[in-house]
Chain A
């Protein structure tokens, strides 16, 4: 994993360097860059939720704010170092002084993404290039039930161990059905 990421970084840096010259010219010539004080997802962050909303906090000195010249892209980095663009909604929230970057669909679990922004810079002068890793999917363990002679007690709870905690979203998305078969023809759904 480390070697792969290392190679990937070298590649990115070289691409960035190639385009840098051109962008510098355009920015310099046409518009001052928007200054960003912070991004809610940090570079190299891990366990980022799949429904995460990426906020870019604006420097209050940016007046007026015009992001029409800025370009924000979110790419999913595939296994073969290919990047696939992720559809996102970009929304400027003037009141909050931030830009919300909302993926239209949930991100994939256990995947690398990179957020590239042009036309904006950190107010420290650094370019905004953030790479992050989403949280892993949950693994289900064997149900823990109260049994007697290997049979489920009728008052038993059913505990299913999870490899990690669920987020509220995940919890809400759970679909659980408990069905009791009374005989060959009859089954009832048990509320849980």
Chain B
């Protein structure tokens, strides 16, 4: 039987059945089931807001019958306004065991208000469920470390983003976060690990390696959970690398006091971390024996002065080159040699920065009457301004008591260690002006312009040097132009190759005319025990000649140089000139030169010069002779007297890196005559490169 009227919940029911048919006529009593009450409604929360993936779990006071389940009328609406609300679809599951009803909305949206109503005859009409909830706010960036648009951020900084609310793991898994370097277009992404902190309120970005100095970075965030109306990019720039502004002593300085502390002026102070990571190589480089010797030192940073002060534990050796190199990722270009200087001779000299005038080096030339140098005095004058910033050299000739300027050059170190201005004036009025640029003791660029006596431009050069590994000059590119208004054209290109010991084994020089290649010279060099023994030059282009020079040694002293040209007709190397050297007590006392000519088979000496030395092996004077064909004998052309300033001259036999380093002169007047010429500058640059790996020959 089925009741025709709906039974009521929570009541007592009595059923009586009467009939003679039945053996008994009992009464049956039933209790109808009570209304369903909602014990609890649960959402998935992130913080105190409902997450978008939240289900809605409704815990009921009792189980539902299928009919009751079917009678449920559940509605989920988005929006505060009844007239403008959206019905949200959901799936509904019922777990009879737990007496729980789970609603899973198909999609909830951020930062929205929702209304949930659950109706059923099974519910007490007085307690029908109506509930509301608010979904998660969009995530905004609350704060960042570093702050947005920060500058000077440390390269090992912690990068973190404080979020406006808790981020769920699901949201985190859909987060796109990139750290990019904005200075470059390709491969700009910085490999990083991104974590959500335990409180799920902060994103932590850990780059796999330190950031680069002086770069612009951007953290890009994108996520459905992020507020779409806001830009979530975080820009910041890292701290600039430390630049070494100058050093005291400046690089290439000589006559440095033996108790000198090295001061390095910096563009900014090192941080403590950077300072602790700083690598310092401080070594003395004895000129005549052994390899470099590491020096002990203490290092302090003077914060106020933005200086590093390096104090050697012991006094320097006298008249010894020293090299200080510092390396750090925090340094521009990672740093390198920063100071290369020579200590003062043991006898003591005036500090270079106190020198104002230097004394005259009087060289007396006495020659036959017809010679140019007849009875002339030649004076070399050197001048240093204070702090060695300006150096000048003047060469004057005296003729019959009248002094004339033969040549004058000046070097003005406008930025010590970075730029030196050069200016030279010849007696004929022509002049040269230019600049030499350095970086960390190496020449990176030289430009200069020649002008004639009337100041009409003749020519300009602009040459750039490139280095490989930090010490090897491996390319030289020169541009030139005739007039300042002309376009620059390629003038020459030189590339060098070196063996593993640092010896230059070949070079290729290309010469251009009006930008067009007109000659290529390939030179190859051979060495034996560190001595250059052969050079072959092959030219293609306007000359198409091959030259060869052989060098001969005895006990490490170069005895002769034989220069040949290849005769295409006879298919033979033909001697074109030769130089012979004579030594006494290790001093080269005679140099003889024979200019043989292309076809000369009888190659006789044409010129020679004799050098004279005192007991201390200082050169005191020299005499220069040429063969006078009219008289059939050698005639002395010039005598140079260095007695006022004797010089010691030593020789290198290996053209190890650059032929500019082929000899050195040490003058007793060097404290006065210590003027670098352009030649000298380049020579010293080569010195900076020493010591060579593999222990080459003694190098100036």
* A positions within 8 Å CB-CB of B: 106, 109, 137-140, 143, 145-160, 166, 170, 173-182, 187-188, 190-192
* Selected contact of B33 from candidates A152, A157, A190, CB within 8 Å: A152
Residues of B near A180 (CB, < 8 A) are 7-8, 11-14, 32
Chain B residues whose C-beta falls within 8 Å of the C-beta of A159 in the assembled complex = 1
Residues of A within 8 A of B17 (CB): 140, 160, 174-176
A3 to chain B, nearest CB (A): 25
CA distance A47 to B30 in the complex (A): 34
Among B21-29, B78-86, B546-554, B673-681, the stretch that binds chain A is B21-29
Question: Does B170 count as interface, using CB distance less than 8 angstroms?
Answer: no
How many residues of chain B are within 8 Å of chain A by beta carbon? 35
Whether B4 contacts A190 by the Cβ 8 Å rule is yes
B65 at the interface (CB under 8 A from A): yes
Could you say which residues of chain B place their CB within 8 Å of the CB of A157?
Answer: 1-2
Nearest-CB distance from B553 to chain A (Å)?
A: 115
For chain B residues 56-82, which have a beta carbon within 8 Å of chain A? 62-63, 65, 67-68
- When distances are taken between beta carbons in the complex, the residues of chain B under 8 Å from A181 are 11-14
Instruction: Please give, as numbers and ranges, the residues of chain B lying within 8 Å of A139 by CB-CB distance.
Output: 22-24
A174 with B8: CB separation less than 8 A? no
- How far does the Cβ of A127 sit from chain B's closest Cβ, in whole Å? 34
Closest 4 CB pairs of A and B: A151-B33, A191-B4, A175-B18, A154-B7
Cβ contacts under 8 Å, B8 to chain A:
154, 180, 182
B11 and A149: CB pair below 8 A?
no
Is the CB–CB distance between A145 and B30 below 8 Å? yes
Q: Can you name 7 A-B residue pairings with CB atoms under 8 Å?
A: A140-B22, A152-B33, A170-B19, A170-B21, A178-B13, A178-B14, A192-B4
Give A149 to B65 CA distance when docked, in angstroms.
10
Q: Are B3 and A140 in contact (CB under 8 A)?
A: no
Contacting residue for B5 out of A151, A177, A187, A190, CB 8 A: A190
Interface residues of B in 15-56 (CB under 8 A from A): 15-24, 26, 28, 30-34
Q: Do B13 and A152 touch (CB < 8 A)?
A: yes
- A176 (CB) vs chain B CBs: closest residue: B17
Name B residues whose Cβ lies closer than 8 Å to a Cβ of A.
1-9, 11-24, 26, 28, 30-34, 62-63, 65, 67-68
| B33 pairs with A148, CB closer than 8 A | yes
Q: Are A149 and B62 in contact (CB under 8 A)?
A: yes
Closest chain A CB from B11 CB (angstroms): 5
Chain A residues whose C-beta falls within 8 Å of the C-beta of B1 in the assembled complex: 157-160, 176, 178, 192
Question: In the complex, which residues of chain A have a beta carbon less than 8 angstroms from the beta carbon of B19?
Answer: 138, 170, 173-175
Please, how many angstroms separate the alpha-carbon atoms of A109 and B34 in the complex? 43
User: In the docked arrangement, what's the CA distance between A162 and B661, Å?
Assistant: 128
Contacts of B9 in A (CB 8 A): 154
| Smallest CB separation, B6 vs chain A (Å) | 6
CB distance from B37 to the nearest CB of A (A): 13
A179–B62 Cα distance when bound, in Å, is 25
B6 contacts A155, C-beta separation under 8 Å: yes
Q: Which of B7, B24, B26 contacts A152 (CB 8 A)?
A: B7
Query: Min CB distance, B1 to chain A, in Å?
Result: 4
A150 contacts across to B, CB distance below 8 A: 31
Contacts of A187 in B (CB 8 A): 14
Q: Knowing that A106-B20, A150-B31 touch, tell me 4 more A-B residue pairs with CB under 8 angstroms.
A: A139-B22, A151-B33, A174-B19, A182-B8
What A residues does B65 contact at CB under 8 A?
146, 148, 153, 155
Chain B min CB distance to A104 (Å): 16
- Can you name the residue of chain A whose Cβ is closest to the Cβ of B18? A175
Residues on A with C-beta less than 8 A from B4 are 190-192
Chain B nearest CB, measured from A136 CB (Å): 8
In angstroms, how far is the closest chain A Cβ from the Cβ of B106?
31
A149–B20 CB distance below 8 A: no
A159 to chain B, nearest CB (A): 8
Chain A positions within 8 Å of B20 at CB level: 106, 109, 137, 173
Inter-chain CA distance A146–B4, complex, in Å, is: 16
A192 to B28, CA, bound (A): 14
List, in ascending order, chain B residues with CB within 8 A of A166's CB.
21
Shortest A76–chain B CB gap in Å is 16
Q: Are A154 and B2 in contact (CB under 8 A)?
A: no
Other-chain residue from A154, A170, A174, A192 in contact with B32 (beta carbon distance below 8 A):
A154
Q: Across the interface, do A177 and B33 meet the contact criterion of CB distance under 8 Å?
A: no
Q: How far is the CA of A182 from the CA of B9 in the complex (A)?
A: 9
The closest CB in chain B to the CB of A184 belongs to B12
Q: How far is the CB of B282 from chain A (nearest CB, A)?
A: 91
A120 to chain B, nearest CB (A): 32
Cβ of B23: which chain A residues have Cβ within 8 Å of it? 137-140
A178 and B21 in contact (CB under 8 A), knowing A151-B32, A153-B67? no
